Amino acid sequence: MTLESVDRRSSAADDADGTGEWRVQSVLEWDGWSDGTVACPNCGRTVALDGPHVGAQLLRERRDGPERKRRHDHRRVAFCDRDCADAWLPRD
């Protein structure tokens, strides 16, 4: 799975095509997840994925095909620390 920047809000187009809002499935501290770097979506600092960082697993439901079969999209978003994750992620 590739890391992508995920908009925290669904749009009217998402709702019209059967795609729901992104929900937080889990938030965990990682160390050595993979090679490479990404920008923290909250502060913009570089996050080294082979070092300590916080990862959030996001999930959204969508309906596909003529039968509108239920499926799920998954995305992992990396943050430089817990404070950035808490600031960026929605609160229940």
Q: What is the pLDDT of residue 10?
A: 38
In a domain, residue 63? The reply is yes
Count of the separate structural domains present in the chain = 1
In a domain, residue 4? The reply is no
**Which three-class secondary structure state does DSSP give residue 14?**
helix
Residue 92's pLDDT band, with cuts at 50, 70 and 90, is: low
In a domain, residue 34? The reply is yes
Determine the Cα–Cα distance for residues 48 and 37; give it in Å rounded to an integer.
Answer: 5
Determine the Cα–Cα distance for residues 52 and 70; give it in Å rounded to an integer.
Answer: 35
Q: What is the pLDDT of residue 18?
A: 54
In a domain, residue 7? The reply is no
In a domain, residue 50? The reply is yes
Q: Longest C-alpha distance within the chain, in Å? A: 44
In a domain, residue 6? The reply is no
Q: What is the pLDDT of residue 69?
A: 75
Task: Give per-residue pLDDT as tens, 15-66.
Answer: 445 567 888 999 999 998 889 999 999 999 999 999 999 999 999 888 776 7
The boundaries of the domain holding residue 40 are: 12-88
Q: What is the pLDDT of residue 14?
A: 44
| Close Cβ partners of 86 (under 8 Å, ≥ 6 residues apart) | none
Which amino acid belongs to residue 49?
L
